[in-house]
Structure formats: structure tokens, C-alpha cells
Amino acid sequence: MKKLEGKVALVTGSGRGIGREVALQLAAYGAKVVVNDLDAAPAEEVVAEIRAAGGEAVACVGSVTAPDFADRFVQTAVKSYGSIDIIINNAGFTWDNVIQKMSDEQWYAVIDCHLTAPFRILRAAQPIISAMAKKEAAEGREVLRKVVNISSGAAGGNVGQSNYSSGKSGILGLTKTLSKEWGRLKVNVNAVAFGLIDTRLTQALAGEDSKTVNIEGREIKVGVQQARLDGVAATIPLGRVGKPEEAAGAVVMFCLPESNFCSGQVIYCGGGPGSNF
């Protein structure tokens, strides 16, 4: 029997990058996965890949910041599979500027994605998880559930990222609080903070040319100058940037039974202590 067989996992931002790898790895361990992305095509591609490998998955397309998203996401899991066992709050992006040039729109867009959306998803899931936990307790069974929130080394502060750093710091407070509130419900709540991982948001720029991604109608600049990437890589003890599948492995580790007595913890997945990238 696979270690997560019969479990139902919800993963935000899982159509691309690290989230995609998390969804695929959870499915490989036997979990049924609710895949989310802003766009339908990448979400459906991941669903198709999981099904082709013999797993089960459904898509819940849309922005995690939409007021109705949390309830829709949670209900997709319940209506499709009848349970919620694992929640991964992974969706995110950066929209950088120094504070004197940062608009309210930039601030709230990033805070809402990285902090408000996870709060809403966990709030929407609580009544369902609580009801299941009470039923299991009455039957004399202990069933451990898992929440993994995604933070960053940037939670320690990064120039030009007052919005992102604040969101990634705030999610740590939410993680530790819920580890105390939800312990009685037999839920492990942990966080993984990433260092520099090779994704579309951290691609090397060609010269001064900037790249953009469309986030809810906004063209957001992404990519990093090669010189900066080289400088950050030089501070990483392992001597290189991380791969999406390696970042996903740190997340999945907190979802396995081996982590059943770990809660309220944060691990840094960045190749060793170094940059706050």
C-alpha cells in the first residue's frame, strides 16, 4: 500500500513549477489530488499526467485571491472525494519595488496571495476537518492530517520585497498558530521556506531584457539578472540553485506518516544556510 493511499490532497498553484511537482509526487504516493492554477490548460495537463500514471485528480481553476475561491476549492475536494487530508498553500508570485515606489495595489496583491488566501482556505476547511476528527475520535481512531504552508528565506527581509517578505513572514505566524489550534484535531501544520529554486519566476534574464507573466490581467516582470543569480548561488553551500522536484520533496516530506509527530515547524530548503533569496 502506498503511504498516502486514500488521502485527499489540495495543492494551490499546482499547474506549474514547484506546485506541479508537489502534486505529481503526492499522487505517486497514492493521494487523490485537487490541482489548482490560474489557467485551465496547465491545471488540466497535470490532472491528465496524474491520471495517465494511474492516479486520481481533478482541477479547480481560478485565482486563490478570489472571494469565493476557498469555499469552491474545499468543496471540490469534498464533492469529488469525500475528504480533506492534506492542504498545501503553494500559490505565489513576486511583484517587487522599494517601499517608496510600491503602490497599494502591489502590496495587497502579494499579501492577499501569500497570506490572505491561505487563511481563507484553512478557515473554509476547518468545519469539515473538525467534523471528521470528532467522528474518528468517537470511533477510537487517530487519523493525522497535514497542512504545509510555503514560506521563503525572504521572510527574513529582502530589498525591494516589503510585500513578499511580509507575506512570507506572516505565513509563519499563521502556521505556528494553527499548529496549536488544530493539534486537538490531529492536524500537523508545518511550513517549508524555499531558497533559490529554478522556476519561471527566477529565470535568468538575457541582458537587460525583462520577462513578464500575466497574473490576473497584470503583466508582472519576472526573472533575475544572471550576475545576481551567480552571486546568490555562490552563497549556497551546495553550490547551485535548487530544482523544483527537490523543493517539492521537502513539502511532501511533511505529508508522509514519518512526520506525524512534527508540528509548528519550519524547514529551510535552500541548499544550506546562506542567502535570503
Q: Which residues are catalytic?
A: 164
How many other CB atoms are found less than 10 A from the CB of residue 157?
13
Note whether 276 and 233 are within 8 A (CB): no
Q: Specify the DSSP class assigned to residue 194.
A: E
Beta bridge partners of 258: none
b/e 79-90 (16+ beta carbons within 10 angstroms → b): eebebbbbbbbb
68, amino acid identity = D
Q: Report residue 229: phi and psi, to 5°.
A: -60, -45
Report the SS3 class of residue 19: helix
Can you tell me the distance from the alpha carbon of 263 to that of 277, in angstroms, rounded to the nearest whole number? 25
Closest CA to 189 of 176, 198, 199: 176
Q: How far is CA 163 from the centre of its chain?
A: 17
Beta-carbon contacts of residue 138 (< 8 Å; ≥ 6 apart): none
How many other CB atoms are found less than 10 A from the CB of residue 136?
14
Q: How many CA atoms lie within 13 A of 171 on its CB side?
A: 38
Note whether 155 and 172 are within 8 A (CB): yes
**Using CB atoms within 10 A of its CB, is residue 266 exposed (0-12), middle (13-18) or buried (19+)?**
middle
